[in-house]
Amino acid sequence: MRRASVLVGGLACAAAFAAHAAPSEAACIATFNWRTYTYTGMQNNVPGVKIGAELPERAKLPSCNDTIVNGYVPPVTYSDLPVAQIEGVPPSIALAAGTSQVYVNQGTFPILKSHPLHGRIAAIAWPDITGPSCQIKGPAKIDATGLSVNGVRIVVNAKTKVELQRHGTAFIPPGTVIRVGGSECGTRFDQKVVEARRIARG
């Protein structure tokens, strides 16, 4: 049986939140911004995860603008959201909001064994991608639905080698020029998708 791929940061989970979002926005996804990073909500009450102290710097929570009136989409506004550190996890990797929900930086990858939350956050299956191998290079765009390069969605699986590292795990800052070697490159849900074999600095 062919191994399952996992979408970076949990697009399948996020898509459920975004089902009724305005076409130009992903504001209804469970997401927030903290410093320069984008985090997406993954799970509540994750076994083995302990919520630590609230951080002095609050996150920015986007409004959920899912109502379009006469073609007009209201602009996204932001409100402050208290967030807390997760014990043993650097805040640039993951944070907690509320009393129990874990949010993961979309530039990190819990599917990899090096991630501090590996094995504690459920993997999210991505449909099989079939197609030829390919190469893609460009600045990393990291948003509420994951990682993309030049409009192409990048999928990471457990065997993907990510050469950019921070805090002992794969870490891709937004805007970093990267080179992606794809083992399978195709289209899913009308979007170009690359299953990454290797991601390196461009």
pLDDT tens readout for residues 29-44: 899 999 999 999 998 9
pTM of the model: 0.82
Q: Find the Cα–Cα–Cα–Cα dihedral 130, 133, 137, 141, rounded to 10°.
A: 20
Better pLDDT: 67 or 185: 185
Q: What is the pLDDT of residue 135?
A: 97
Full DSSP string of 93-139: TEEEETTTEEEEETTS-TTSTTSTTTTTS---EE----S--EEEEEE
Q: What is the pLDDT of residue 180?
A: 98
Question: What is the 8-class DSSP label of residue 74?
Answer: P
Name the band, by pLDDT with cuts 50, 70 and 90, for residue 66: low
Q: What is the pLDDT of residue 184?
A: 93
CA-derived radius of gyration, the chain: 17
